[in-house]
Amino acid sequence: MKTKEMQIIRPPCDLSCEVVNIKLTLDQDLSELLPYINREVEKARFFPKGPFTKFVHQGHNVTIDHDNLAMTGFEDDTAAREFAAQMIDMLRDIEARKDSITPQIKPFEPPSMLAILRLLPGKNGCAECGYPACMAFATALCREETTPDACKPLALLPDGAARLERLREMTA
């Protein structure tokens, strides 16, 4: 597995924005490797209809789509290049161990927003979670923009601990 082309991308935004993204074009299509990556990488999300896979590693979003490997959120070019090299090493390692890995073909299923909403206390307007209403908080949980623990009233319910645990499982 080798890099054919590398692009350092700076998203168009305000001048104070220093975020650097990096995209590699590889010399091979990784589609067949995706179920193995799905098994090996924690919280990998496999989308068989692409096919493509997404995951977060060390705080950076990684997307593998055919022969493209895209990674986001670096402070500079050097950090982006180092992380990309690390990802290539990881993918080579998975490829080398492929025969001993059971592929995971289960597609990613996002949590149901309504199921999340049903577990929240429904104290709309208390906004202790930082969102104006439980619906907005549930939406943010689905988008992984917050965590269940941010809803403080939840822990005060008689079955709060169980609800919190269920929410953690659904949004993990």
**Distance separating alpha carbons of residues 86 and 74, to the nearest angstrom:** 14
Q: Shortest gap between Cβ of 161 and ligand SF4 (angstroms)? A: 15
Please calculate the CA angle 64-69-75 and round it to the nearest 5 degrees. 120
Q: Shortest gap between Cβ of 116 and ligand SF4 (angstroms)? A: 10
Q: Are 149 and 125 in contact (CB under 8 A)?
A: no
Note the residues at the interface with ligand SF4 (CB under 6 A).
120-121, 123-124, 126-129, 131, 133-134, 137, 151, 153
User: How do 60-65 and 3-9 pair as beta strands?
Assistant: unpaired
**With 0-12 CB in 10 A as exposed, 13-18 as middle and 19+ as buried, what is 125?**
exposed
Q: Are 170 and 147 in contact (CB under 8 A)?
A: no
Q: Are 101 and 148 in contact (CB under 8 A)?
A: no
Q: Shortest gap between Cβ of 108 and ligand SF4 (angstroms)? A: 24
Q: Shortest gap between Cβ of 168 and ligand SF4 (angstroms)? A: 15
Strand order of the β-sheet with 20-26 is 3-9, 20-26, 68-74, 60-65, 52-57, 45-47
Compare residues 13 and 114 and give the one whose CB is closer to ligand SF4.
Answer: 114
Q: Shortest gap between Cβ of 171 and ligand SF4 (angstroms)? A: 13
Q: Token pair for residue 63?
A: 């997307």
Compare residues 77 and 145 and give the one whose CB is closer to ligand SF4.
Answer: 145
Compare residues 103 and 111 and give the one whose CB is closer to ligand SF4.
Answer: 111
Compare residues 94 and 135 and give the one whose CB is closer to ligand SF4.
Answer: 135
